[in-house]
Structure 1
Amino acid sequence: MTTTVFFPAGAPNQSASGTLQSVNDAVQLATDSLGSVDFALAGTPVGATVAFEGTSDGTTWYAMKAYPKVPGSAGSTTANAAGSYNVTVGGAAKVRARLTAITSGSFTCVANGTAGAGHVGVKNGAAADLQTTPVPASITPTDRSGSITTGGTAQALMAANANRRGWSIQNNSSGDLWLNEIGGTAVIGQPSLQLPAGALYESPASYCSPSAISIIGATTGQTFTAREA
């Protein structure tokens, strides 16, 4: 069973509905004047898969990514459970929700199209389709303070940390300290970063290395105060 509803150009909303019970049953909309279509699936069928598809010429259908109407959810070209799914229809002449597999039961499907786009896509989008990961408003830093164990020999300041968001160090001694923040072994001189006596270094807002950080000083016992967040 396939249901198609055509509306005149300029209509603010378009809708269609039907039952998805057998393979290739579909509910589809012509997308003239539409920016996006919501497909609302209801029911608890067993082994059901619904594919979201579009066509530019009315003959050849291609997969389209639909976004669950749940904040933070990534898009998918198929759905296996009840819910509302939004498809941005730019360029398509028609879109549809088509049943591609089922063991028993059925979905009822209501399609509602509006002029507004429900999701702004990015070409070749990935990484959960650019859904953001919330960052805590505040982070408790870890104390990495210490002293030079053996003068002239590099030692670990901070282990590699893929979740590191920032770090800082202040030289409390009367001699220079040297840092390597890109995963190599610190040396006295280039390419290490020089931290003169009393100086404070803070990782820049635009860049924070996740690599292991190494430190070296010429004299045993040189102290430093360090923080990692």
Structure 2
Amino acid sequence: MSDTVTLPGTGAVIATDDVGGVQFQRIKIAVGADGVAADASAAAPLPVGGIRRDADTAYAADLAAHPLLFNDGGRLKVSVTPADIASTAGNITTNGGVVALQVKRLSNLSISMVAAALVGHNVTFEASNNSTTGSDGTWYGVQVVRSNANTVETASGVLAATPAYMWQVNVSDYAWFRVRATAHTSGTAAYILNPSSYVSEPIPAIQVSATQPVSGTVAVTALPAGTNLIGNTGVAAATHTDKSGTITAGGTAQTPFAINAARRGFLIQNNSAGDLWFNTLATAVQSQPSIKLPAGGYYESPYGGCPTTAISIIGATTAQAFSAREW
């Protein structure tokens, strides 16, 4: 049957919905432009408005209708507070008793216990990724840490009173968490599992503090044969030997420093008005490859770079003076 009805007399067509042979008139909410009669849909949604609210205080009383709130910039206000997730409480009064919590959307848990006439009580801390009820599925032991010390535990140990600490555990990658009694003689252990929705790093269960002893054996490898020596790396004192003099014959090289295998350094200063040249590799000449010392010039061999060969010197003029030291 067609979902329309024609009004008698006028011939006007009314939109209806045929439900089991009964026509229900369609009522259009007039949100479109003049002459537009499209049903509300994802393509033509109903407009939704709100009110500007600059203050962050409560707008309506508890359980009252609440509009969408916008700030002074026209942006929708959203809550930045973490989810408030209720704690789970349960009593264990028999061996095998369990207090469980689904933790898929949680980060951390704090676990507290209050004892009442408790005797011989011990629980283990467990997690499961395939449980659906907190009792079925496969369960695995997990580590928790005491709230007052860096003490890691997988079980509480035998308790007969309320402990002076809680336990904390990161549960961000588990589906379920529970405490399960592995021993219980009598009395009541009242547990509270208090969750946190904050995203956080795993709880640092073991921390190193103060001075830690280190022991062991360090192997020392012998130096290979040859000249690979380790000795005193300080600067050793040395006695200087005066090698000062003058040019005996202008234009002729002379050797103020003879070959000395023990030499560790030398210096030369030109005290004359003309150039002097010296060479540590061959007989000096008044040009390259000899090293030029201009009037007043000074040269000292670098540390570790002193030759042990004979050192030759030459000047153009007889009696050119130079100061020299060897050590």
TM class by shorter chain equals 0.3 to 0.5
More strand by share: 1
Q: Give the TM-score taking structure 2 as reference length.
A: 0.32
Q: Give the TM-score taking structure 1 as reference length.
A: 0.45
Q: For CA contacts below 8 A with separation 6 or more, give which structure has more relative contact order.
A: 1
In our comparison, the structure showing a higher alpha carbon Rg is 2
